[in-house]
Amino acid sequence: MNKNKSKKIIGCAWLFVLAVMMSAYFLFPQSFNVSNLILIIKNNYWLSVFIFTFIICFRGLLLVSPLSLTLASSVFFPPLTALLVNSFGILISTSLIYKFSHFLGFDKFFEKNYNQQITKIKASLHKKEIPIILLWSFLPIFPTDLIVYVSASIKIPLWKCLIGVFVGMAIINAIFIYSLNFFLPY
């Protein structure tokens, strides 16, 4: 199967999932209420954890912000579960972006939208890969997927990228999950 055909199939599958989700949202708006979702998740806890882990793992392919998903998950799951699921998901999604960023065309997207930042990151990453990746992942104002893409493009080993992103994101996720759970308990 050639590359273009694979891309078309993935694109169609993505559009289909999107159409189903949008239809469900507009047809049954009451089901998407936070209280309802909490009730559904309580009744199907392990299935919900599995589905959420799946979403977290593959969110990188849609470039959805990991922070929003982390904070949303901390509303529905206990803090430790939310942290573990998110940390595991970060490892998988980082690996996917690292391996498939060129195939999915992220290179064009990032080069077009973050050209200046990419030049700066490439210059500063030299010989300080882990600290820079860790710091970048920790700061919520910078898109984490961008540093993963740049790491892949300049052939930084995957393990260094994973360590940096995992530690940086774990620290910031722990802070936000704890804060949300403590200050605004549901």
Partner 1 sequence: MMQTKITKKSWFKPLVLVVIFIGLIILIGRIVIFSHPRPMQFYLEFLDKRSERNLKITTYSKEEFFQKYLNTNNDESYQVNNFLNLFNEKFNHPVAKENNFFIVYRVPDEKDACLINIYGINKKRDLVYVSSQNICLKYEQK
Single residue of 83, 134, 161, 162 touching partner 1 by CB under 8 A = 134
Question: What is the closest distance, in whole angstroms, from the C-beta atom of residue 86 to partner 1 in the complex?
Answer: 13
Instruction: Give, to the nearest 10 degrees, the angle between helix 106-113 and helix 144-153.
Output: 110
62-66: long-range pairs with CB below 8 Å, 24+? 62/14, 63/106, 63/109, 63/145, 65/143, 66/90, 66/93, 66/144, 66/169
Single residue of 23, 33, 113, 119 touching partner 1 by CB under 8 A = 33
Length of the chain counted residue by residue? 186
Binding pattern to partner 1, positions 66-105, x when CB under 8 A?
-xx--xx-xx------------------------------
Question: What is the closest distance, in whole angstroms, from the C-beta atom of residue 134 to partner 1 in the complex?
Answer: 6
- Tabulate helix, strand, coil % of the chain (nearest 5): 85, 0, 15
Site for partner 1 contains 43 (CB under 8 A): no
Helix and strand totals (H; E) in the chain:
10, 0
What is the spatial distance between Cα 117 and Cα 163, in angstroms, rounded to a whole number?
A: 21
Single residue of 2, 127, 141, 159 touching partner 1 by CB under 8 A = 127
Within 152-181, the residues that bind partner 1 by CB under 8 A are: 171, 175-176, 179-180
Name the residues that contact partner 1, by CB under 8 A.
29-30, 33-36, 39, 67-68, 71-72, 74-75, 127-132, 134-135, 138, 171, 175-176, 179-180, 182-186
